[in-house]
Chain A
Amino acid sequence: AQSVTQLGSHVSVSEGALVLLRCNYSSSVPPYLFWYVQYPNQGLQLLLKYTSAATLVKGINGFEAEFKKSETSFHLTKPSAHMSDAAEYFCAVSGTNAGKSTFGDGTTLTVKP
């Protein structure tokens, strides 16, 4: 069994400020973890993924996430927010089969000028 909890359905930051989107997971097997971004009226796009190679994962658009097994967390960060980062972000966990990925409810990121 697996589950994902994204803390905060809405996060608002100022342009240039740190972005922190929280994700905690539960999995009965070693997990694979993903962050996806969804822009309005578009499908989901992969930002980054953890597949047990390195605990700090760097993704596209300056985002990164750190896998912390002891905290069962996979928080997404970006040092400096840009207006173009405004979107909805989904954390997902999977086991042996990507099709069984379980997604969180999403966090909407707003970036204020």
Chain B
Amino acid sequence: GAGVSQSPSNKVTEKGKDVELRCDPISGHTALYWYRQSLGQGLEFLIYFQGNSAPDKSGLPSDRFSAERTGGSVSTLTIQRTQQEDSAVYLCASSLVWTGNTEAFFGQGTRLTVV
């Protein structure tokens, strides 16, 4: 597709369950990022992938969060044993390269609600 695609768009899960969020970046983009947007707050950096290098996981809030990127394309963010404070919109973005002056293209996000 032409843009960054995320699925599902909405996810309601019970506390304690695991969830997987998917991101399809723009074709050819070597960098991929995950952010979390909580209600009334800015974007919280979670993790980024650049090419074949080891991902920068410095923003992951706990070891319940993990992410992978297969074949340098699709990425999956997994949250294990979900908690209510995990409720937020999870945004994925990609950019052509990973330099600081490069525009990031964002998906529409996955709204996660933990009940």
Q: What residues of A have a CB within 8 angstroms of the CB of B100 in the complex?
A: 32, 94-98, 100-101
Interface contact A98-B106, CB-CB below 8 Å: no
Report the minimal beta-carbon distance from B98 to chain A, rounded to whole angstroms.
Answer: 5
| Residue from B40, B45, B50 in contact with A101 in the complex, judged by beta carbons closer than 8 Å | B45
Report the minimal beta-carbon distance from B82 to chain A, rounded to whole angstroms.
Answer: 22
Interface of chain B residues 33 through 66 with chain A (CB within 8 A)? 33, 35, 40-43, 45, 48, 50, 56
Interface contact B31-A49, CB-CB below 8 Å: no
**Interface locus among A38-46, A64-72, A74-82:** A38-46
Interface of chain B residues 7 through 25 with chain A (CB within 8 A)? none
With A51-B101, A94-B100 already in contact, the answer to whether A104 and B108 are too (CB < 8 A) is: no
User: What is the size category of the interface that chain A forms with chain B?
Assistant: 20 to 34
A-B contact count (CB 8 A): 77
Report the minimal beta-carbon distance from A8 to chain B, rounded to whole angstroms.
Answer: 14
Q: What are 8 A-B pairs with beta-carbon distances under 8 A?
A: A43-B106, A44-B43, A44-B91, A44-B93, A51-B101, A100-B45, A103-B35, A103-B42
Interface contact B106-A99, CB-CB below 8 Å: no
Q: What residues of A have a CB within 8 angstroms of the CB of B103 in the complex?
A: 34, 46, 49, 98
Q: What residues of A have a CB within 8 angstroms of the CB of B56 in the complex?
A: 99-100
- Which 9 residue pairs are nearest across A and B when measured between Cβ atoms? A99-B48, A43-B106, A103-B43, A51-B101, A94-B100, A105-B42, A44-B106, A103-B42, A32-B100
User: What is the size category of the interface that chain B forms with chain A?
Assistant: 20 to 34
- Give the docked Cα–Cα distance between A44 and B48 (Å): 17
- Give the docked Cα–Cα distance between A9 and B50 (Å): 33
Q: What residues of B have a CB within 8 angstroms of the CB of A4 in the complex?
A: 42
Q: What residues of A have a CB within 8 angstroms of the CB of B31 in the complex?
A: 98-99
- Give the docked Cα–Cα distance between A102 and B31 (Å): 16
Is B70 part of the binding interface, using a Cβ–Cβ cutoff of 8 Å? Answer: no
With A44-B91, A98-B31, A99-B56 already in contact, the answer to whether A90 and B43 are too (CB < 8 A) is: yes
- Give the docked Cα–Cα distance between A103 and B48 (Å): 15
